Amino acid sequence: MARPRQLADAPSLTATVPRQLVHRAAVAETLLTAWRRIGDDRFSVSAQWPRGHGLHVSPDRSAYDPLLVVETVRQAGTLIAHTEYDVPLDHQFVMQEFQVSTVGGQLVVGPLPAEPVLDVVFTDVQYRGRRPVSARYTTEVLRDGDRAATADVSFTCVGPPVYHRLRGGRTPDSVTPVPLPPALAPAAVDRALSTDVVLAPSGETDRWQLRVDTAHPVFFDHPLDHVPGMLLLEAARQVAWLLRPDGQTPVAYRAVFHRYAELDEPVWIGTKGGLDTDVQVVAVQGESTVFECLVSTAAR
- Every domain of the chain and the residues it spans: 5-165, 169-299
According to the model, what pLDDT value does residue 151 have?
A: 98
According to the model, what pLDDT value does residue 106 have?
A: 95
Mean pLDDT of 274-278: 75
Distance of alpha carbon 62 from alpha carbon 249, whole angstroms: 14
Q: Which tens digits make up the pLDDT trace of 127-166?
A: 998 889 999 999 999 999 999 999 999 999 999 999 999 9
Q: Is the pLDDT of residue 20 over 60?
A: yes
Mean pLDDT of 84-97: 96
Distance of alpha carbon 240 from alpha carbon 233, whole angstroms: 11
Per cent of the chain over pLDDT 90 is: 87
Distance of alpha carbon 19 from alpha carbon 36, whole angstroms: 17
Mean pLDDT of 66-83: 98
- Strand 32-37 relative to strand 146-158: parallel, antiparallel, unpaired? unpaired
Q: Please give the CATH number for the structural domain made up of 169-299.
A: 3.10.129.10
According to the model, what pLDDT value does residue 56 have?
A: 95
Contact 186, 131 (CB under 8 A): no
Q: Is the pLDDT of residue 217 over 60?
A: yes
Average per-residue pLDDT for the chain: 93
Q: Which tens digits make up the pLDDT trace of 223-258?
A: 999 999 999 999 999 999 999 867 789 999 999 999
Write down the CATH superfamily of domain 5-165: Hotdog Thioesterase (3.10.129.10)
Phi then psi for 154, rounded to 5 degrees? -130, 145
Distance of alpha carbon 128 from alpha carbon 296, whole angstroms: 37
According to the model, what pLDDT value does residue 77 have?
A: 98
**What is the DSSP secondary-structure string of the chain?**
-PPPHHHHT-S----PPPGGGGT-S-GGG--EEEEEE-SSSEEEEEE-B-S--TTTB-TTSSBB-HHHHHHHHHHHHHHHHHHHS---TTPEEEEEEEEEEE-TTS-B--SS-B--EEEEEEEEEEEETTEEEEEEEEEEEEETTEEEEEEEEEEEEE-HHHHHHHTTT--TTT--PPPPPPPPPGGGGT-S-GGG--EEEEEETTEEEEP--TT-TTTTSS--SS--HHHHHHHHHHHHHHH-TTTEEEEEEEEEE-SPPPTTS--EEEE----TTEEEEEEEETTEEEEEEEEEEEE-
According to the model, what pLDDT value does residue 273 have?
A: 72
Distance of alpha carbon 137 from alpha carbon 118, whole angstroms: 12
Phi then psi for 264, rounded to 5 degrees? -100, 20
Distance of alpha carbon 70 from alpha carbon 123, whole angstroms: 19
pLDDT confidence bin for 14, thresholds 50/70/90? confident
Q: Do 5-165 and 169-299 have matching folds?
A: yes
